[in-house]
Structure 1
């Protein structure tokens, strides 16, 4: 006789893995405008890309069943700019209202396997500081998260 725990494990192993509604690909990330702190502080490129992937996956959960989105990130320019630390070994990221994040991407939305939308966009918002409040955001890249959330809602209606 098979125990309940063993039976449950066998059923889970036999079930097909749920497809992710979003797949993200980064095209030549080493050439991105500003996706990592190059002056010794802040997050690495690997951390930035992992957080961007997490943002896209969170947004993808809003897609209706049967929809899938493929995103190719072509460039990332994070909000703000790096400023060398005054007498410090590390730099500081300065975010001002004239330094919005910019993410250039190509996307393909499929519904039940058929392409229903595709294109290339530059995702940015000059008013990014008015619409994003870092105090109410979880995770890093809160300005980037806010502009991507707004773009996702406008572009896909979810």
Structure 2
């Protein structure tokens, strides 16, 4: 099962004139199989909440990073949130975050400029030193994930750096 969230302008059913395609598309591929995107113990966010928050993060970063003439398609293949659930701690309990539990997101993406693919790859976005950095995301939900995705957007989309082998 894939959940597709296409952001920006989309053609409405029954519209007489075609609208331009969105410069950003995001697909969550088989989210029910993600490593750690929802609480297994009733002590954290649901899968729907996690996907909604990730969608907001991606949309915000794409809006700030994509330049005119660029488009980006991202498939989220796996999610492993920072930290671990605390069994029995309740639905609003924070996750136990240690340096051994960095966030990891496996992505497949294609960046196009004027219709031509300029960068495409599949990679795992993570940072084992995520606790050593000053967090830009504050205390919001998925702040660690937002930080590593902000770095990824700056490198891959902003500077068009290919992933390391």
**Contact kept? 1:39, 1:90, Cα under 8 Å:** no
Instruction: Provide the rounded CA distance (Å) in 2 between the counterparts of 1:89 and 1:71.
Output: 30
Unaligned residue ranges in structure 2 (runs of 5+): 1-14, 160-165
Within 5 A, what are the aligned runs for 1:25-104? 25-61=27-63, 62-85=65-88, 93-104=95-106
> What is the CA distance between 1:85 and its match in structure 2?
3.4
Q: Which runs of 4+ in 1 moved over 4 A?
A: 13-19, 88-92
TM-score under structure 2 length normalisation: 0.77
Equivalent residue for 2:5?
none
Instruction: Note closer, same or farther for the CA distance 1:110–1:90 as it changes in structure 2 (3 Å cut).
Output: closer
> What is the CA distance between 1:59 and its match in structure 2?
1.1
Instruction: Note closer, same or farther for the CA distance 1:72–1:23 as it changes in structure 2 (3 Å cut).
Output: same
Alignment size in residue pairs: 144
Unaligned residue ranges in structure 1 (runs of 5+): 1-12
Is the helix fraction higher in 1 or 2?
A: 1
Q: For the pair shown, which has the larger CA radius of gyration, 1 or 2?
A: 1
TM-score under structure 1 length normalisation: 0.80
Root-mean-square deviation over aligned CA pairs: 2.5
Instruction: Provide the rounded CA distance (Å) in 1 between the counterparts of 2:36 and 2:84.
Output: 8
Instruction: Note closer, same or farther for the CA distance 1:96–1:112 as it changes in structure 2 (3 Å cut).
Output: same
